[in-house]
Amino acid sequence: MLEALFRLLFEYRPVVFKQGEFRFAPTSGSYVALGLAVVAVAIVILSYRRALARAAAPAGPQGGQPGRTLILLALRLGLIAVVALCLFRPVLVIKAAVAQQNFLALLIDDSRSMRIADGPAGSRGDFARQQFTDPSQGVLKSLSDRFVVRTFRFSTSAARLATPEELSFAGGQTKLGAALEGARQELAGLPLAGVVLVSDGADTTDAALRDALLSMKAAALPVFTVGVGQDRLARDIQVDRITTPRRALKGTSLLIDAVVRQTGYAGETVTLDVEDGGRIVGSQSMKLPPDGEPASVRVRVMAADAGTRVLRFKIAPREGEAIAQNNAREAMVEILDRRERILHYEGDPRFEMKFLRQAVKEDKNLEVVTLQRTAENKFLRVGIDDPEHLLGGFPRTREELFGYRGLVLSNVEASAFSGDQLRMIAEFVEKRGGGLLMLGGPRAFAEGGYAGTAVADALPVVLDRAVHTADGDNLATRLSIRPTRAGESHAVTQIAGSEAASAARWPDLPPLTSVNRIRAIKPGATVLLNGIDDRRREQVVLASQRYGRGKSIAQAVQDSWLWQMHATISLEDQTHENYWRQLLRWLVDDVPGAVDVHAITDRVEPGETVTLVAYVVDPAFVELNDARLTAYVTAPSGAVQELPVQWSGKRDGEYHATFTAPAEGIYSARVEATRGGKTIGSSVTQVRAVPSDAEYFDATMQAPRLQRIADETGGRFYTNADLAGLPEDLQYTGRGVTTIEERELWHMPIVLVLILALLSAEWALRRKAGLA
């Protein structure tokens, strides 16, 4: 609307004034007219002097209004100035492209998002075909009359378009920067007037546009962007993000968060289903949030089957949805069927050790080795597989301790360890990446003398010196255990069949006792369980934090076995077992081995290159740069490819390898490491080669990105509403083979409008004052 009004008043489009240069082309008569204008100005000023003097006099029949007189003077002088300006013949000098002497690069988005039917006459691709593929109609007709058009289609890169039928709109990715750079390089050396980019503005890669735009700017090559599609979908539901672990132990109850956004369905209730191989393994209903706002929903999935599982999170399409493909997301999880070794060091014979072992006895994926101190330098070893193992007590070397994935310290004082062993425990978490759990008791935490030690640095809670007071505050305190807000959604607190059932179960559990008064946690730590004593005071019961490569957990109660043996607990109750299985599985979750490998991305397009990254350490978890690594990649067909894995040179212990995934399916990469002829270890990761669905997510027209491309290169952004002006704007970019044109401006409609406005304003003001 505004642009049409501008064209009506000024005769030309705004880009003409932007690119042009203003000049005056006066004749000899113009200077005579200038002299007459000066005389007219003098006469006007002299004639208004008497009026100004009367207006400055005290209020009376003809005085007291100098402001009105000054306005009349300004209107008259403005009218003379406009006429004088026109007599000096202002002209606009512009460079116009010579017809058929310049090339134009036309890039059409050929990705899958162009199939979305959110336009008035079909899909985005239909609009692009109608306007830009037939030289006899649409915008392409006007462009072809002025330029030699070279048409490209692009998704990941730009390729010449020979016929409209080559537009399949099947590209799985959109790389705007690569497309622009490819077209620029192919047409380098030709008189190029500009680039037209027809796209919805989606860019599904992490590659920045900055480099491509800098190249365009350096070449003074403007990009005119044409946005297709709607910048807001009327009705759509999108599964925005899924958070899943990369690996999990078989039998683990996974709590997976999904983020959902929608427009047009606010307040409706939908169900998020989780499918594994077409079988529903989890469901959760949710109420959709207000339009445009994200909402999180948590769904529980049991990792029942070992192997590589592709989980599909799906909300059934609703009536009238613009895009059905963004209602589902897939995530790949490796379910491991192996035994994770945990060392449990118990400082005194007590029930906690017995019932902990009993709780996980049936868990085939947890192997708890218990070292119980029965007297000074005397130990009971339970669960060992070698008679010599732990014969001298707690491990004295890093190699021995780092062979475990988890470590539980239960009521054992700091003085039971040497200084090196305390540092070794901290390094077990920080460098080895293991899980450390300290259980409460009179010899634990500050009461056990850990304040100021390396172990205290690793723990998530703040340790102060034990305080002994006369009122008995250092005695055992009964605590009613409740999950915090963060704990309610954590896997450890899921002690019943569902999240709601777990929340209802916690208040019914019998109180536990603690002698460790923990009030503060460290920055970055999270409290999962709190305890409330008889005086309504709150203290930390269960807290955790990341420390280096691993995690540390503090549990400040000493008798969780009461959840098994209390009189109010039935024999069939599984609360105690569920809690300890979940806690110990979380303790060893994602603990790295001596060889750890992963792909930079676990999902690629068929034919795309996969980069493997492996980390290798020795038994003491010191990074190795001289190991020999070999990768064995098994394709979906079963064919095995052997690849060398080279040290990256960028980081100690880091190795890289690449391979191409030509066919669709799951590729398994096993990396084996040796050093000096001795085996260090091996690790396996998986990669899926499948067509990407990223084009259907956040698939609205990305106007800010298209506007940025146009602004930074000197072009302009168009939508369907103002697309008709594109050919004329391209004609005046000033690039390529051009001719100089002079456009006289004195006869523009705006000049007549301005003269009439000044005359009308003066007449109206005089009439109001009774001077007309």
pLDDT > 60? residue 583: yes
pLDDT > 60? residue 360: yes
Cβ(218)–Cβ(266) below 8 Å: no
Contacts of 202 (CB under 8 A, 6+ apart): 111, 113, 174, 695, 698, 699, 702
Q: What is the pLDDT of residue 377?
A: 86
Residues 190 and 203 in one domain: yes
Residues 578 and 644 in one domain: no
Instruction: Tell me the pLDDT band of 62, cut-offs 50, 70 and 90.
Output: very low
Q: Is residue 644 part of a domain?
A: yes
Percent of the chain residues past pLDDT 70, beyond the cut: 91
What letter would DSSP give residue 4?
H
Q: Please give the residue that has the higher pLDDT: either 87 or 729.
A: 729
Cα–Cα–Cα angle for 64, 66, 68, nearest 5°?
Answer: 110
Helix and strand numbers (H, E) in the chain are 19, 35
What is the distance between the alpha carbons of residues 673 and 724, in angstroms, rounded to a whole number? 63
Q: Which of 602, 768, 571 is nearest to 689 (CA)?
A: 602
Q: What is the pLDDT of residue 614?
A: 97
Instruction: Tell me the pLDDT band of 693, cut-offs 50, 70 and 90.
Output: confident
pLDDT in tens, 315-324: 999 998 989 9
pLDDT in tens, 77-135: 888 787 777 777 787 777 778 888 999 999 999 999 999 998 777 899 999 999 999 88
Q: Is residue 452 part of a domain?
A: yes
- Please compute the mean of the pLDDT values over residues 164-193 and round it to a whole number: 91
Six-digit token string for 285: 């209903």
pLDDT > 70? residue 268: yes
Instruction: Tell me the pLDDT band of 359, cut-offs 50, 70 and 90.
Output: very high
Residues 74 and 105 in one domain: no
Alpha helices in 468-606 (DSSP H): 485-488, 499-505, 562-565, 575-587
CB atoms within 10 A of CB 288: 22
Q: Is residue 152 part of a domain?
A: yes
Residues 600 and 647 in one domain: yes
Q: What is the pLDDT of residue 262?
A: 94
Q: Is residue 489 part of a domain?
A: no
Cβ(433)–Cβ(548) below 8 Å: yes
Q: What is the pLDDT of residue 468?
A: 45
Q: What is the pLDDT of residue 470?
A: 35
Q: How do 148-154 and 158-160 pair as beta strands?
A: antiparallel
Residues 90 and 201 in one domain: no
What is the distance between the alpha carbons of residues 631 and 182, in angstroms, rounded to a whole number? 34
Q: Which of 37, 35, 3 is nearest to 17 (CA)?
A: 3
pLDDT > 70? residue 33: no
What is the distance between the alpha carbons of residues 454 and 515, in angstroms, rounded to a whole number? 22
Distances (CA, A) of 8 to 13, 95, 756: 9, 22, 16
Residues 415 and 548 in one domain: yes
Instruction: Tell me the pLDDT band of 70, cut-offs 50, 70 and 90.
Output: confident
- Please compute the mean of the pLDDT values over residues 468-491 and round it to a whole number: 78
Q: What is the pLDDT of residue 5?
A: 65
Q: Worst-scoring range by mean pLDDT, 103-107, 160-164, 224-228, 595-599? A: 160-164
Q: What is the pLDDT of residue 2?
A: 64
Q: Is residue 80 part of a domain?
A: yes
Q: What is the pLDDT of residue 569?
A: 92
What letter would DSSP give residue 623?
B
- List, in sequence order, every residue forming a beta bridge with 295; answer none if it has no partner: 260
Contacts of 546 (CB under 8 A, 6+ apart): 524
What crossing angle do the helices spanning 2-10 and 749-769 adopt, rounded to 10°?
A: 90
- List, in sequence order, every residue forming a beta bridge with 236; answer none if it has no partner: 263
- Please compute the mean of the pLDDT values over residues 156-165 and round it to a whole number: 90
Q: What is the pLDDT of residue 63?
A: 47
CATH number at residue 266: 2.60.40.10
Instruction: Tell me the pLDDT band of 189, cut-offs 50, 70 and 90.
Output: confident
CATH number at residue 379: 3.40.50.880
Last residue in a domain, options 304, 330, 356: 330
Residues 173 and 289 in one domain: no
CATH number at residue 630: 2.60.40.1930
Contacts of 172 (CB under 8 A, 6+ apart): 111, 112, 155, 156, 605, 691, 692, 694, 695
Containing structural domain, residue 619: 595-689
Q: Is residue 387 part of a domain?
A: yes
Distance of CA 429 to the CA centre of its chain: 29
Residues 609 and 720 in one domain: no
Residues 351 and 441 in one domain: yes
**What pTM, to 2 d.p., does this model score?**
0.79
Phi-psi group of 201: left, alpha or beta (phi > 0 → left; psi -120 to 50 → alpha; rest → beta): left
What is the distance between the alpha carbons of residues 517 and 129, in angstroms, rounded to a whole number? 72
pLDDT > 70? residue 18: no
3-state secondary structure of 230: coil
pLDDT > 90? residue 725: no
Cβ(670)–Cβ(632) below 8 Å: yes
Q: Which of 66, 15, 71 is nearest to 763 (CA)?
A: 71
Side-chain half-sphere exposure of 700, counting CA atoms within 13 A: 16
Looking at the structure of the chain, the number of domains it has is 5
- Please compute the mean of the pLDDT values over residues 382-410 and round it to a whole number: 93
pLDDT in tens, 655-668: 999 999 999 999 99
Q: Which of 422, 445, 650, 426 is nearest to 548 (CA)?
A: 426
Residues 559 and 417 in one domain: yes
Q: Is residue 549 part of a domain?
A: yes
Order of strands across the sheet that contains 678-689 = 595-599, 608-616, 654-661, 640-647, 628-634, 665-675, 678-689, 603-604
Instruction: Tell me the pLDDT band of 76, cut-offs 50, 70 and 90.
Output: confident
Residues 552 and 651 in one domain: no
Cβ(299)–Cβ(272) below 8 Å: yes
Instruction: Tell me the pLDDT band of 471, cut-offs 50, 70 and 90.
Output: very low
Q: Is residue 488 part of a domain?
A: no
Q: What is the mean pLDDT of the chain?
A: 88
Length of the chain: 772
Residues 684 and 578 in one domain: no
Q: Please give the residue that has the higher pLDDT: either 14 or 341.
A: 341
What is the distance between the alpha carbons of residues 219 and 199, in angstroms, rounded to a whole number? 22
Q: Which of 417, 412, 421 is nearest to 373 (CA)?
A: 412
